[in-house]
Structure 1
Amino acid sequence: MTDATATDLSKDAAATAAVALVEPGMRLGLGTGSTAVIFVRRLAQRAAAEGLALRCAATSKATAQLAASLGLRVEELDDIGWLDLTIDGADEVDPDLNLIKGGGAAHLREKIVAMASDRMVVIADQGKVVDRLGQFHLPVEVIPFGWQTTRKLITRALDALDLGQRPVLLRQRDNKPLLTDEGNLILDLALEAIPDPQALADRLSRIAGVVEHGLFLNICHVAIIGRPDGSVVELQREDFE
């Protein structure tokens, strides 16, 4: 079994386990990313087979288009009002269920949807579980106006937290700056490690021009980690407030 095959099987195991959490009549938040895509497909299969009446809010245009094409009812978050459950992927998950998200450039909408939910469940493969956040580049969504100045302010914030002279990279696609669904830019922070995620989150949130960062702290309730053999491990924060 190749590493890629093992990862795909792990993602499918996590997504399948998450589908079992869905109850008839639920208001669901649908995540973005490769594992979330599997979840949406599995969810649509179950909804069609059982005739589930679900109301879904998507965290990206891509997820909305996929879900609608598979027959799921997709609505605007404000029209639904509040969600029972959001199921989404993550780029990193630490032992306290803090996350880095935004590899798919959707972390702004993902955080809004997650925080408008009674529960957030993360689905991932074992490779996303880390002892400490930061190996994955931390995405920061910024408005286009004055973005280079915003990048300088981010660099100063990193220096103030003794995180060193780390690259702050403008994310590109097809040799052009990538634009989010909101028309913003993404700056990726190559930090290697984040000793104090809360301190960094607070600093980034105070910078003018920063729309949202990819640190999801004290938001995730449960993480379902898939294994290649089809089994899963469920991680839960007992002290969640």
Structure 2
Amino acid sequence: MTDSPSARIERVGDDLRDRGFTVDTHGSPRIARDGPTDLTGVDAPLAVASITDSNPLTVISAVAAAAHDGRVPVLVVDQHDYDQVAEILSSPFALAGEQDSLRQFYTVEDRIQLTDDSFACVEGYGPLSWAESGSTESPQLHLTVGEETVAVLDSVAGLACPGPSPAAFRHRYARNEDGRFLVSEGEAVVGDYSGVTAMRADGVRPVPLPLVPEHHVRSNGHLARAVLVATVEDGVVRYTGAQ
């Protein structure tokens, strides 16, 4: 029988106390202090948080929050989520892949707002991916649908506020005064929909934002990479570090 998230947190807290830590009994995350450093290899308190899904943004957000506060993340997960969470945190850390020092990114549900306040979208049903391409010293960021590159940004910095130019994407969409979603190509409106669901049904998708690690883990990267994944089986706690 699988323990509940709260039961797993309690068991991990008990285990850390047995190892010599002082563990706060309230709040989320639970903070463990003044324990030995052999568990993480880092002299810093631990932030013990329950992760209830293996969504990359969920995982990296928890890691980033702990590191920002000067703590080593300890992510307590259900055994069924362990493999996916461990993969996100393994080398290459927080990346979908890496080849010749060029990175492939996970995507998140956040949409890409353009400088004219519209949002980027693409046509087609093929798999969508973000990856760096070109020189490792100044790589471009490519958006691919299936085998076709549909957008190119100068770098991941092009995603930062105020966001990309509308010209960076062939298609974009915005809500008009009547609440309709209008899809544009250049200056021409090429689609008129009641909402995003209708857009998707017609093969037009909002572009998801790539999960760029440094845009989330902005400080204390050494603490983020010292992350531990904790699972509980038959009352026994197992800790695994990023590989």
Pairwise same-fold verdict (TM > 0.5): no
TM-score range normalised by the length of the shorter chain: 0.3 to 0.5
Bigger CA radius of gyration: 2
Q: TM-score, normalised by structure 1?
A: 0.36
The structure with the greater share of residues assigned to strand is: 2
